[in-house]
Copies of this chain bind each other. A is one copy, B any other.
Amino acid sequence: MSVKQSLLAILDQGPCYGYQLRHEFDRRTGSTWPLNVGQIYNTLERLERDGLVAKGETDEQGHVFFEITDAGRLEVRSWLSSPVERGQGTRDELAIKLALAATLPGVDVTEVIQTQRRASLAQLQELNRAKYAGSDPEGPQELAWSLVVDSMIFAAEAEVRWLDHTEQRLALRPRHTLALELSSQRPKRGRPVAADAAERTPRIEAEATR
């Protein structure tokens, strides 16, 4: 949801050809997210289809330049002047996973939490190491890179805090107040659902990955 806009924003600075766009994106994001070249051309194709860019002149060397259209400029403006929406439908994989795992009769949620916690802490360490490994951020590239690293650090810290908070909340209540059998309240129409399925199903104790 942001490669399109990013390329568009770069094209707003002036016409570019494919490979150049890759280079620009790399520079400006501190080479944090390697962008497959093929994706550039795909995205350009789709942007052209949507009338946001237009295929311009071709170089003597054969470079195919794309330039932004008025509609494209509007899109960039709108992107930059509106916030990134996070809420309502925004799915967080970890939150889904934990909420769901907490209701599965055969699963030890605290194990899941601990596994995640270890991974997040490890990543946090790696991020901090990477942060101070790079020399002082003089150039814009280094700055962009360190901005991104910071954002990941802040997110990882919040994740750990949430995990701890969640573990405590879950610890307060006995297992049976969480576990949900397959819908005991059978649907209006249809046979009674196999409620004993949980009995047949082998209990999964999420393995500690130590």
Contacts and interface: CB of A to CB of B under 8 A. Distances in A.
A40 B111 CA distance: 28
A33 interface: yes
Given A59-B190, A147-B102, A84 B76 contact: no
Given A61-B191, A154-B165, A190-B63, A201 B12 contact: yes
Interface in A133-178: 138-140, 143-144, 147-148, 150-152, 154-159, 161-162, 165-166, 169, 173, 177-178
Task: State the copy count for this chain.
Answer: 2
Interface residues of A, number: 115
A69 interface: no
Nearest to A194: B14
Nearest to A119: B83
A48 interface: no
A3 B85 CA distance: 21
Contact of A162 (B83, B154, B189): B154
A81 B78 CA distance: 42
Interface of A: 1-2, 5-6, 9-10, 12-17, 19-20, 23-25, 27-30, 32-34, 59-61, 63, 73, 76-77, 79-87, 89-107, 111-112, 115-116, 118-120, 123, 126-127, 138-140, 143-144, 147-148, 150-152, 154-159, 161-162, 165-166, 169, 173, 177-183, 187, 189-191, 193-195, 197-198, 200-202, 204, 206-209
